[in-house]
Amino acid sequence: MNAPDRYERFVVPEGTKKVSYERDTKIINAASFTVEREDHTIGNILRMQLHRDPNVLFAGYKLPHPLQYKIIVRIHTTSQSSPMQAYNQSINDLDKELDHLKTAFEAELLKFSRDY
Amino acid sequence: MEGLSYARMPRVKIRELKDDYCKFELRDTDASMANALRRVMIAEVPTIAIDLVEIEVNSSVLIDEFIAHRLGLIPLTSERAMSMRFSRDCDACDGDGQCEFCSVEFHLRVKCMTDNTLDVTSKDLYSSDHTVVPVDFDANTTTTTDDNNNSRANSGIIIVKLRRGQELRLRAIARKGIGKDHAKWSPAATVSFMYQPEIHINDDLMETLTLQEKREWVESSPTHVFEIDPVTQQVTVVDAEAYTYDDEVIKKAEAMGKPGLVDIIAKQDSFIFTVETTGSIKASQLVLNAIEILKQKLDAVRLSEDTVEADDQFGELGAHMRGG
Ligand SMILES: [Zn+2]
């Protein structure tokens, strides 16, 4: 009767921001991004992509609690970059990778259906 | 800074392709991407499934809820799902979830009039939309199965059995959903990936073994990975991918006093995917939809304008305070 709705796991509640940003108060060029209603799927690809950026000194994510449907991504960069810049770039690069993957898979699909 | 990119260019090679099955190689990317694709295929690619059932008459042996649950689990052809609306954000029916943009209606009316048991199956469901129907498993099965069991062929998915006089009459609403909400919406039967193994046999060390020892070592693998060439009596790798990373051959080599007999590496950037669907969408389509959904998810986690602006002001303020 009082069970929470299942969609609470993946629908961002009204009035809540999908991504919020908080600068570190002690370390320059360090910040945390709180991403609502996301999990390891996004957290892990973001983290691994951030590791490919040489200006990123630290990148990690955590799912604070299995019943809190959010992840926290923490980024620390050199002075050449900023957490926000690194975050945006990682999303752009992942998007590019997926675009490439899509065309590669479609081309392969076409080739495959022709050959067999 | 513009133009600098750390994006990878993954390669794909399809090995096997059927309507509901696909095996492919994914290279030049990492486990995070492979796993994200796997997770999205299982839990976030949408399909259509029965979500609301109104029972008019049910004099069968199964209770209403039991039948409603079974109806939900029947896979429906869901090519339309990607372009359909979720009922919860459909403004055409205002959250009612019963309009043509976000739902498909089904009817089922069956009554048993004879002394023979009557099977009520997914074939008794009548859809209001000919593109969304229960998956027909017999339509695309090859000729191999229908020789000896004709009775099973073309039978659909059984829902309940009726005896004389029993009746089932209902109306059902199917909606778009994802596996994260309820597993009935998952298009995936199995999605798995493995690291591609690279097996190197130390030939010099191998030649110090007698034929009997070689046989023993080859047999120690629980799967058929190695073979002894009948002519040259050399140990060869016949199927590297049959290796399950069980370490048995490595332990065996050590037990035989021959450590380093074989070197097995899991290639960190090469994956072999196996994708199997419930029939609701094609396996190849599942992969493409997963890529699309992952792109949409990434787009949703981009920083909004006001967050960036707020930070710019903060930055200026900070610079100001620092005397900049
Ligand atoms: Zn609607």
Q: What is the ipTM of this complex?
A: 0.96
Band (pLDDT 50/70/90 cuts) for residue B2 is low
pLDDT beyond 70 at B151: no
Nearest CB to A105 within list B12, B32, B299: B12
Distance in Å, alpha carbon of B42 to nearest chain A alpha carbon: 11
pLDDT at B37: 98
pLDDT over 90 at B92, yes or no: no
Q: What is the pLDDT of residue B323?
A: 44
**Which pLDDT band, with edges at 50, 70 and 90, does B312 fall under?**
low
Is the model's pLDDT at B59 over the cut of 80? yes
Q: Do A42 and B36 touch (CB under 8 A)?
A: yes
Helix (H) / strand (E) element for B53: namely strand B47-58
B198: confidence class by pLDDT, cuts 50, 70, 90: very high
pLDDT at B324 over 50: no
pLDDT at site B137: 80
pLDDT at B152: 54
Closest to A6 (Cα-Cα) out of B185, B294, B66, B99: B185
Would you call A102 and B292 a contact, using CB atoms and an 8 Å cutoff? Answer: yes
The pTM of the full predicted model, rounded to 2 decimals, is 0.91
Interchain CB contact of B275 with A (< 8 Å): no
The sign of the dihedral angle between the CA atoms of B124, B129, B133, B138 is positive
- Name the residue among A38, A95, A105 with its Cβ closest to that of B287: A105
C-alpha span between B87 and B101 (Å, rounded)? 8
Residues B229-265 have pLDDT tens digits of 999 999 999 999 999 999 999 999 999 999 999 999 9
Q: How far apart are CA B97 and CA B257, in angstroms?
A: 69
Q: Are B41 and B178 in contact (CB under 8 A)?
A: no
Token pair 């994708």: residue: B275
Residues of chain B with pLDDT > 90: what percent?
A: 82
Quick check: A45 and B8 in contact, CB under 8 A?
no
Evaluate if residue A85 carries a pLDDT over 60. Answer: yes
Instruction: Supply the pLDDT for residue B139.
Output: 66
The CA-based dihedral angle spanning residues B41, A17, B48, B275, taken in that order and rounded to the nearest 10 degrees: 0
A21-44 burial: b if 16+ Cβ within 10 Å, else e: bebeeeeebbbbbbbbbbbebbbb
Minimal Cβ distance to A91: which of B12, B181, B298: B298
Local confidence band at B207 (pLDDT 50, 70, 90 cut-offs): very high
Task: Say which amino acid occupies B269.
Answer: D
pLDDT band at A113 (very low <50, low <70, confident <90, very high): confident
- Which residues hold their Cβ within 5 A of ligand 1, which is an ion? B 90, 92-93, 99, 101-102
How far does the centroid of ligand 1 lie from the alpha carbon of residue B19, in Å?
Answer: 30
The answer to whether residues B244 and B218 touch, using CB atoms and an 8 Å cutoff, is: no
- What's the B284 CA to ligand 1 centre distance in angstroms? 29
Q: What is the mean pLDDT of residues A97-106?
A: 98
Q: What is the average pLDDT across A54-70?
A: 97
**Cβ contact, residue pair A104, B12, below 8 Å:** yes
Q: Does B30 touch chain A (CB under 8 A)?
A: yes
Q: How far is CA B54 from CA A26, A50, A53, B106, B168, in A?
A: 60, 50, 55, 10, 11
From the list B24, B39, B294, the residue facing A98 with the nearest CB is B294
B68 pLDDT above the threshold of 80: yes
Can you say whether the dihedral through the CA atoms of B301, B305, B308, B314 is positive or negative? negative
Q: How many CB atoms lie within 10 A of CB B52?
A: 17
